[in-house]
Every structure is written in structure tokens, then in C-alpha cells.
Structure 1
Amino acid sequence: MSVPLAVSGWLAPVVFWWPEAPADVEAAHAGLALTDEVVAAQPQLLDDALAALQPPHPNRVNVYGLTYAPYAAEDVFMRESAVVARTMRERFGANGRMVELVVNPATTTTLPWATPLNLRKAIAHVATVMDRERDVLFVHLTSHGGADGKLASNTWPLKTEPMTPELLKRWLDEAGVRWRVISVSACYSGSWIAPLAGDGTLVMTAADADHTSYGCGRRSELTFFGRAMYEDALRETWSFTEAHAAARKLIEVREKEAGKSDGYSNPQISEGAGIRDVLQRLHEQQRGAR
């Protein structure tokens, strides 16, 4: 019990346990190796990532970004986090303003874990660095999603709670983040629209509330939404709404070609009137910088 006792103070609300691994989990994934090195590194990784955030440039719309990939058993979510972070840095000037939260055996000593508390801490800290009247916080969440609206967490042998849109909204509200772009890459993610929508928020999802998304298996390089939105569409525009519209078309074609049998995923979007003006300024700013 020495390892879980050592880290329980900084990772709450994570509940630590040492049960026998379920057969399906054990077969699918070896889980996280909680070595002394990993346990010692994790708190410092988050502190270092947050301390490295750069202050905003004055008189500009600055983009700060967080990615959240809490499913360790499939590398597709780790890869998607990296692709999304790279696109935000290269296309939206977020270099020095991105934090990746990822749970994966390959990143346990390089990236802070995607746990609910780490996400809450990251949101709270970013809010103290950014200009909350001018700047935008971009949050991309990628995992399996359930019809109940919960984002799956796979951190065995740690047990972490699934993320929900209600939790995310509460933490953004508590931090005083005014302008928000939220991207949810998961099955049934359209259920996140209503809880998060508002004047200062743009919400984009990989599916509606009744359909699965596609491309989130162990052999997938990227999800269909991640590839269409962040590798394809946002390379052609700085408008999230234009990119989402283009991604919808790409996804529909690709899902048909792949033989998706349960219907079009039908990605959704909701844009508040307030954030629309901010993102238009961002679009013009980035276009003018090229």
C-alpha cells in the first residue's frame, strides 16, 4: 500500500486501490507502472507544465489550451492529444500556452496525468495567467464516451472518476474563464452540448447524443473526428465553425467508406453570440499574421 498512500494526497479525488486486475483489462493493457520514479515525477510534471505557461501578448486574442486524454489502454487518445496540441501551437499561436494531460504508460514520466483534479488545477492556473477579458481557453477531451454523457477513464491500477460536462462547466465558471472553446472527441458526445452551451462558449463534438463516433479502437491512428478536424480542416482555416462544417463532410464520407454500420456520427456544434465575435477577431488576427 506504500505507493497509493504516497500519492493520494495530491491526486484526489482519485481513489487508489489494489484489486486483482479484471481479465479483460489485463488482457487489453498492462496498466500504469507505479514505480517510485513515476510517483515522484507526476506532481512535478504538472507543476512544471503550469509554471511554463507564457503570459499573454497585449492587444491580441491569445489562445491557451488544455488536452485531456484519460484512457491509457489505447494509444489513439495519446496520439490525438499530441496532434491537437501541435495544431493549436502551429495555427493559433499557442506555443508556450498548451498543457497536455495524458494517461498512457509511454508518457508517465513526461506528461502529467489526465485526472479530474489535474484538469481542475490546470483550468484554475491558466485562468490566473491569461487575460480573461480577451483571451480564449481551448479544451480538447478525447476518450470513449457513454450514452450517459460520461467520458471514460482508464487508469488501472488507479481508479479515477469519469469526466462529465457538468464538472467541466463548474470548474470553468469557478475559474472565471469567460471565453471557451470546448472540443469533445467521444461517442455520444453531443450530450455535452446543452450543459456547456452559453454566450461565451463554442462547443464542438465528434457525434450527436445518439450515435457513436468512429476510429477509437486500438488499431486506430487517430479518431475520425481528430483527423478531420485537426489534421485536415484546421489546416485550411482559422475558423472553428468553418473547420467543423468541413470536418462533418469528411467524416461522413470516411465513415461510409469504412463501413460504419450504426449510422452517421453526426458531429454537433454550438456557438454563443459572445464567443462568435471573439473568434472572428482571432480568425482575422491569425490570417493577417500569415
Structure 2
Amino acid sequence: MDEEQGLPDAPEAAADMPQAPAGVTPPARRGGLAWLREGARVLAFRPPRWDGLQARPLTLAVLVLASYPIALVMQRALMDGEPRFLWNGILAGWVGTAAWAWLCWVVVRSRTAAVGPATLLAVSAAAGLVLNAIGGVAVLALRAAWGPGDDWPAALSWAVWLTPLSWAALMQAVLLWREAGTRAARAVLLMVLPIPWLVGGWLAPVSFWWSEPPADAEASFAGLPLTDEIVAAQSELLDEALAQLPAPQPGRINVYGLTYAPYASEDVFMRESATVAKTMRERFGAGMVELVVNPATAASLPWATPLNLRHSIARIAARMDRERDVLILHLTSHGGADGRLATETWPLQTEPMTPQLLKRWLDEAGVRWRVVSVSACYSGSWVEPLAGDGTLVMTAADADHTSYGCGRKSELTFFGRAMYAEELRRTLSFTDAHAAARNAIEVREQEAGKSDGYSNPQLRMGEAIRPVLQRLERELGG
């Protein structure tokens, strides 16, 4: 950035510059990369070398504005799809810059400083520019490893936001504290310094992009229909589904199935519930109850709400032989890194499901033999809470990865397709089907270009349920 070399001196800038003693040659003015080198020193909490640093207006403008294109590129890299550009993002951040410039003036006025306030502000901006460049490279690397920012674990998202913000605040506080010459200046510094970071980091951050919802989002999901007829029929639909469950046949293992699809705005979960129910009926002779929230099934299937799930588990347990029969429960929705299964039931207000809650309801109902299948991102976090001697747990991913195929254009999730539409059509062994599904899913994810790594579906089987499922295979002719 040597562009300042040929510019005429501004009178006000000249008045603010320290004068060299008579007979002493002032140090040559430095420009270009010297600002970035001194910014890097400040970033490492080392004092800058002021000799030869004199900030002209163009220098200051370049150093302050250069962070904006970095923020533009970095924010876009975190987003998927086609977000809308917000040109007024360039208007954000100036309140913090003004407060910071005033602090530089206060600090310089508090002592016979070696530099003027413009130079102090320029070095601070250079340090911020270096930090933003490092952060931009880190974000691009994380994007390549984890995919879009919306897919990151919550802890990673918070770390990416808080780490550079905290480092910059501490770095600039150290810089001004060193330059402040009086206790009064340092007191002002302590009071005013949080303002730029509160405004720029929290209240009005620089934002250049906005993710618009898909064009068909409102058309595809305007909420569940809540007419008097549908609301009144819901309790009847659940009672009818539970009443139609067959009585257990003595002398053999009977299978009862329950699906739970609580995300109404995407049809893939409704289709997956139907696929699982069909496979369970045809391959295992299961008596099935489907709990689904979707506008298309509001008048034909009971809603997938936590209350209906708990009630269904209790009623199925009362119908089955709890010492012999098996309950197969499949849950399908979006999942979070915090272990919650997402719900979308607007305008109904429902809570996300958790593995701890599901286990408690199964235990309360006295279901001894249970196969739990969870098709969701990060569903591996359900394995440990649900595991037990009488439980087989299968998931579409491990606790650190997303699964695939749960978008609006998907017919089935990759896990639902491989496990229930394909492999359990070839075998009655859940372990064999899951092993084959893992291989098929890995190939399909690679072909689809999944960016955050193999979903790594998980399975854990309790020792007590193993012979029960082996006997079930023999009885069904597997």
C-alpha cells in the first residue's frame, strides 16, 4: 500500500505529527506492507514500531475498508443456495468505527504521544485486517470440511463467532492501554471500549447476505389445517389406529411398529413413514401405527406430537405381550447436534423429542424388547441414552455428522431408502441390513458430493435382545 507516497500533506495532519529535533533526520516514512507487519505485531500483543508510520487519509481509508470485502466473501462462503446480496451491509459498523476513532484521540491527547490519532487508528485497523484475513482462511477450511454454516455443530458456530471477536477486543484494548498516558484516559477507555464491540459484534454486525426461503416454501407449507372437523377427528384417528392393532398370537414373537414423523413442511418424512410401515407390515407382519404431521395426511393419520407418541407407546405396550413381543419404533426428521429431533407443526406448538424422553416413556410402559431406528442428522447422539440390554438402536449418522437426503426434493432419506426400501426387503436381520445399508449410503453420499464426510450410521445391540431377534428371523422364515 505505497499509494500514499505521492500525496500532498494535509495541513491538519501535519500539525498533528511530532516534529523532529533540529539537526535530526526524521525516519523515512513507511507504507505498504509495513502497516500489515505492525498490525500483525499488535495482533500478537506486541507494541508496534512507530518510526516512519504516518497515516494519510487514503492509507486510513484503505485499511478500514479492506475488511469489508473479506467479510463479504467469508459470509457468502458459509451459506448454501442463492442468498440475496444486501448492499446496505456497507453501512453497518460505522458507529463502532467512530467510537474507536474517538478513543484513539482521547489516548493520544492524554500524553505526549509519538503518533497522531490517525496513525493509532490505522495500526489498529491494520491489525483487524490481518485478523479478518486469517479468519477468512479458517472459515473457508471449515466450509470445506463441515459444509455450510447451518450444518455446523452449535459449539463450532459459537467458537467461529466469538474467538475472533474476543481476540480483536483484547488486542485493541492492550494497544490503547499501552498508549494511554493518564488514569483518566484509561478510565474512559474501560467505559467506552465495550461500545464498538457491542454494536459491531452483537447489535448491528456487518451483514452482506440474507438466505431467502425457497420460492415454493409458502406454497408447500402454509401450516397444518386446523378446521373444526380435522381437530375433532384427530383423537378418533389415533384411537382407531390403536384399536386395529392385532392381539398377540400365543407361542410366537409378535412385532408391533410405530413411526414418528414430526416435520410437516417436508414431504420426505411422510413418505419415509409410509415406506417403513409398508416394510414392517409385509416383511414382519407388524401391527403398525403411523404418527405423521403433514397437510396431506391431516384427515387420515394421527399427528406426530409428543403426547400422541407417549400415548401410543403406552397403548401398544398394553396390547402386546411385553415379555415376548418386540416394538419397532422409527423416528424421522431433522436432527440437531444437541440431540433434539426437530418438529415443525405450526400452528400447533410442540416440543422437540429427545432420546432421554423416549427412553423414559418406553420404560414407564414396560416395553422390554425394543428396536429404535432414528433417521436424522447427528442421530448417533441417541445411541448411548437409548442403549440397553433389551434394545437395538440404529441411526442414520454418528453424533458428529449430518445424514443425507432430507431435503425438499428427496423422495426418501438415504438411510430410509437403503435400510427399509432395500435391505430389509432382502433380509430379516436388522444387523445384516444395517451393515449393507452403511455401504450403500457411503457410495451414494460420495456420488452426491456430501461435503462434511461420511454420515457413518451407527448400530448397537444389547446382548439380551440378540437371541430374541434371531428367533424372530427363524419364525418368519429368514
TM-score (norm 2): 0.54
| Alignment match, 1:3 | none
Partner residue in 2 for 1:31: 223
Backbone CA RMSD of aligned residues: 1.1
Q: Tell me how far apart the structure 2 counterparts of residues 115 and 278 of structure 1 sit (CA, whole Å).
A: 30
Among 189, 194, 206, which residue is 2:384 paired with?
A: 194
Q: Which one of the candidate residues 87, 91, 110 is aligned to 2:300?
A: 110
| Residue of 153, 162, 166 corresponding to 2:352 | 162
Match of 1:265 in 2: 455
Determine whether 1:218 maps to 2:408.
yes
2:269 corresponds to which of 58, 77, 82: 77
Amino acid at match of 1:207: A
1:54-69 aligned within 5 A = 54-69=246-261
Cα separation, 1, equivalents of 2:225 and 2:289: 23
- Map Cα deviations across residues 229-251 of structure 1 (whole Å, 9 max, x no partner): 00111011100000000000000
Which residue pairs with 2:394 in the alignment? 204
Give 2:233's match in structure 1, choosing from 24, 37, 41: 41
- Residues 131-159 of structure 1 show CA distances to partners (whole Å, capped at 9, x for unaligned) of 00110000000000000000000001111
- Aligned position for 1:20: none
CA distance in 2, matches of 1:50, 1:232: 28
Question: 1:214: Cα distance to partner?
Answer: 0.1
* 1:256 equivalenced with 2:446 (yes/no): yes
Shift, 1:287, TM fit: 1.6
CA distance in 2, matches of 1:150, 1:181: 19
Aligned identity (percent) is 77
> Greater helix share, 1 or 2?
2
Segments ≥4 residues shifted beyond 3 Å:
23-28
**Residue among 224, 229, 232 paired with 2:422:** 232
User: SS at 1:119's partner residue?
Assistant: helix
SS at match of 1:171: helix
Question: What residue is the counterpart of 2:432 in the other structure?
Answer: 242
> Gaps spanning 5+ residues in structure 2: where?
1-211
Shift of 1:29: 2.0
SS of the residue 1:122 aligns to: helix
Q: Which amino acid aligns with 2:419?
A: M
**2:320 alignment partner in structure 1:** 130
CA-CA distance at 1:65 after TM superposition: 0.4
1:171 paired with 2:361, answer: yes
> SS in structure 1 opposite 2:404?
coil
For each residue in 1:12-58, what CA deviation from the matched residue of structure 2 results, as whole angstroms up to 9, or x when unmatched? xxxxxxxxxxx957476211110111111101101111111110111
d(CA) in 2 for partners of 1:181, 1:223 = 19
> Which amino acid in the other structure matches residue 125 of structure 1?
R
Provide the C-alpha distance between the structure 2 equivalents of 1:50 and 1:33, rounded to a whole number of angstroms: 23
Letter in 2 for 1:210: D
The residue type paired with residue 283 of structure 2 is R
**Alignment-mate amino acid for residue 225 of structure 2:** A
Deviations for 1:48-73, whole angstroms, at most 9, x for unmatched residues?
11111110111111100000000000
Is 2:243 aligned against 1:51? Answer: yes
Q: Deviations over 1:55-108 (max 9, x none)?
A: 0111111100000000000000000000000000000011xx100000000000
